[in-house]
């Protein structure tokens, strides 16, 4: 699997080009279907794929505002950024992350799954008690891009309710799983009074490349107003915990400070 990491990284960082090349290669297969109509079949298949990609791209591009407003990065010249954590709460890693944040006196933002909120309400209450911002990440972490509007609404509504019951107030922030959001998703979150947030700094901690690599990825690409995507659930996050211990002091040495996401919630910027 380690051999694939450079390829996966390139695809992640150049997904538009990867899509064009990948669909072009698939279109070549159409040439073998009918030797008499190779050109029309191949070009037609590729044109269809590219048109579909153009429609879907704003649903997956974390900086796109085409289908509705999202906060990907705060518009500020101040050297501040927001650390955000998805997919929890999940002990013991959420506990360890909260311990690091408390020790470093950093406030962060957690996007919690409704099902995990109901399993570990004490961790959600600790997040709020220690001054962190808590938002919704749906109920079950389903990919909303491939969900019907009805299922999407249920996922968002149930996640919202689970969090509201524990917090004692309605959550004001929402992050769709994988960053995937068809237009109706943004409307559904907005109808519940939630602002949709994505990210601008993604070290890909799900790859588990090592804590030092994760910390370096965050630090090297850090810009004022960044929203950093990390995870406290969804798998083994021990590397994320260790990376957090490394990146916080390193970013402070570079002059950065840390804020909750709502401190960046002026005019959204891609």
Q: Which residues are catalytic?
A: 86, 231
The DSSP line for 93-147 is HHHHHHHHHHHHT---EEEE-HHHHHH-HHHHHHHHHTT-EEEE--SS---GGGS
Lookup result for tokens 């994320």: 240
Give the up-direction half-sphere exposure of residue 154: CA atoms within 13 A in the CB hemisphere. Answer: 7
- Distances from the Cα of 175 to the Cαs of 24, 103, 238, 240, 246, in angstroms? 32, 27, 23, 19, 26
Contact 71, 227 (CB under 8 A): yes
The set of residues, in sequence order, having a beta carbon less than 8 Å from that of 158 and lying 6+ positions away, is 114, 138, 139
Q: Are strands 73-74 and 268-269 parallel, antiparallel or unpaired?
A: antiparallel
Give phi and psi for 51, each to the nearest 5: -65, -45
d(CA 102, CA 96): 10
> Which two tokens mark 75?
């518009």
């Amino acid at each position: 699997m380690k051999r694939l990491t450079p390829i996966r990284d390139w695809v992640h960082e150049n997904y538009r080009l990867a899509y064009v090349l990948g669909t072009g290669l698939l279109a070549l297969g159409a040439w073998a279907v009918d030797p008499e109509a190779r050109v029309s079949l191949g070009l037609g298949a590729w044109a269809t794929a590219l048109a579909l990609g153009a429609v879907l791209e704003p649903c997956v591009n974390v900086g796109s505002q085409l289908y509705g407003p999202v906060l990907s990065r705060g518009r500020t010249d101040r050297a501040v950024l927001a650390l955000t954590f998805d997919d929890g709460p999940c002990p013991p890693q959420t506990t360890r992350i909260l311990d690091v944040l408390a020790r470093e006196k950093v406030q962060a933002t957690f996007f919690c799954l409704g099902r995990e909120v109901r399993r570990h309400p004490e961790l959600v209450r600790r997040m709020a008690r220690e001054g962190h911002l808590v938002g919704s990440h749906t109920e079950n972490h389903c990919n909303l891009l491939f969900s019907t509007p009805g299922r999407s609404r249920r996922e968002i509504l149930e996640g919202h309710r689970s969090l509201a019951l524990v917090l004692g107030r309605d959550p004001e922030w929402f992050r769709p799983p994988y960053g995937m959001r068809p237009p109706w998703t943004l409307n559904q979150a907005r109808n519940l009074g939630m602002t949709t947030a994505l990210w601008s700094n993604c070290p890909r901690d799900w790859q588990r490349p090592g804590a030092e690599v994760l910390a370096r990825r965050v630090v090297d690409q850090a810009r004022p107003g960044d929203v950093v995507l990390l995870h406290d659930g969804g798998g083994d996050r021990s590397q994320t915990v260790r990376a957090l211990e490394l990146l916080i002091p390193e970013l402070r040495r570079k002059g950065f400070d840390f804020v909750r996401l709502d401190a960046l919630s002026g005019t959204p910027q891609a």
